[in-house]
Structure formats: C-alpha cells, structure tokens
C-alpha cells in the first residue's frame, strides 16, 4: 500500500516485510481514554525533550548516542519511550515488537529490550503520527479575531470527530473513523470556504507597512502626492 504522507500515513520497510502506519481517529482511540490521548500528546511534545532532540538534530544532523542514553533514563526516557511505542503500535495493525522493541522484567526491574529501530527514530515518528492524528497539520488560515480564543482541551473525544465527519460528509462510520485529523481538516477546508479577514501575521504586515510609509512621509523621504512637471508655455 502506498502511503499518503500529506495526511500522516507512513510506510516502514525492512527486508522481510512492510509496516503501514495510519494515525486515524480510531487509532487515536487505541492509545487510551480521551484524557490519556491528550496526556500522550503532551508527553511527546514536552518542551525539554523536544528542545533536546531539536538541538541535537540541528547540530549533528541526528540524535547522538549519549542523548539516546539520557532519554532512556527514568527522568526522560521511560514515559516518553513507552508513550512513543504505544502510539506507533496504535497506528499499525501488525505487531511491532521486532521494530520498536519491548519492555521486559529483569533483575533490576522492567528493562527495555531494543528492536531494529533506534530510540530517537521511534520518538520522532511517534510525535509525527500523533500530531497528524490529534492536532492535524493542514495549513489553515486562523483569523485574528479568533487568536485569543482558548483552544486547549483536557480531552480528545474521538467519537465527536467521527460523528462530525459522518454528519458533514454523509459517510459511514467505518470510513469516518479511518480519517486522520489532517485529512478531516483538508476535507472541511475544501467543503467550506475560509472566512474573509486578516490573520494575525497578515494584519501585522499591513500595520508595519503603514508605519513605514508614515515614517517616510514625516522624514520627507516620501511625498504624499507626486507632483507633475507642467510643460513650459510657448513664448
């Protein structure tokens, strides 16, 4: 199956088989309860872990081994890695133990047994999947008048989005629950034209241009009306 990466689908292959990932609404439900889904998203987008991985990727082009060891420690690793593994498994119908590893009881407690994928790869892929599944990555214009509205919710109620998709697009439940949030947003955008008005960035750009024009007028570098040179009268 060919993945449509624009809506969050992924395909990971090894020599033996292909693993298809789709961060659909029903896949998000497999992560846990509505509040557990939000908690999983927050864990994967925690400031500290995100900062560490981003800085490492920018500096070295990859996540170095010493950082991976830090991520594996209880402070960073266990909650983040365990959540990332559950997200990837929720988005794939095949058993991923071979790819992502597993947690096993050991002499010093539960330990992580590595799979074929690196820990950094698991975390990065899981973050991308849950972003497409919960928040959506469609490019939508957010008008300035809506900027101050608080959009945070402590719960992600999958059934609400499935029912909304069924109502808006007259589709059966089996199709609605397979939508990713990005795909759902793109469908809404295509069906309902975006409101007219300025986004915050567009409004700021207009104001900045106006301020610059005013400053040039006051300094004499710009004239309000360009004067035309009258032709000389014949003698």
Look at residue 59 in the predicted model and tell me its pLDDT: 77
Look at residue 139 in the predicted model and tell me its pLDDT: 83
Instruction: Say yes or no to pLDDT of 197 above 50.
Output: no
| Pair of tokens at residue 162 | 């499935």
Question: Strands 18-21 and 10-13, how do they pair?
Answer: antiparallel
Mean pLDDT of 59-84: 74
Mean pLDDT of 78-86: 91
198-214: pLDDT as tens digits? 445 554 554 455 556 65
Look at residue 107 in the predicted model and tell me its pLDDT: 81
- Between 69 and 91, the higher pLDDT residue: 91
Per-residue pLDDT band at 149 (split at 50, 70, 90): low
Q: Looking at 64-78, 130-144, 178-192, 218-232, which range is the least confident one?
A: 218-232
Look at residue 38 in the predicted model and tell me its pLDDT: 93
Instruction: Say yes or no to pLDDT of 126 above 50.
Output: yes
Task: Looking at mean pLDDT, say which of 14-23, 85-94, 133-142 comes out highest.
Answer: 85-94
């Amino acid at each position: 199956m060919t993945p449509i990466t624009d809506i969050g689908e992924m395909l990971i292959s090894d020599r033996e088989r292909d693993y298809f990932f789709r961060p659909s609404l029903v896949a998000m439900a497999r992560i846990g309860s509505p509040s557990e889904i939000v908690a999983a998203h927050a864990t994967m987008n925690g400031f500290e872990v995100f900062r560490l991985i981003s800085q490492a990727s920018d500096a070295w082009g990859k996540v170095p081994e010493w950082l991976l060891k830090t991520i594996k420690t209880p402070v960073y690793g266990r909650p983040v890695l365990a959540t990332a593994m559950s997200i990837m498994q929720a988005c794939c119908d095949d058993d991923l133990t071979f790819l992502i590893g597993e947690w096993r009881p050991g002499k010093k407690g539960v330990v992580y047994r590595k799979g074929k994928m690196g820990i950094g790869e698991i975390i990065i892929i899981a973050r991308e999947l849950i972003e497409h599944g919960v928040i959506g990555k469609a490019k939508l214009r957010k008008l300035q008048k809506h900027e101050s509205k608080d959009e945070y919710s402590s719960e992600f109620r999958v059934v609400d989005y499935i029912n909304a998709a069924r109502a808006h697009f007259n589709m059966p439940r089996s199709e609605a629950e397979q939508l990713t949030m990005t795909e759902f947003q793109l469908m809404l955008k295509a069906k309902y034209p975006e409101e007219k008005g300025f986004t915050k960035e567009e409004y700021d750009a207009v104001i900045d241009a106006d301020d610059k024009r005013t400053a040039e007028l006051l300094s004499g570098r710009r004239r309000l009306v360009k004067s035309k040179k009258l032709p000389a009268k014949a003698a």
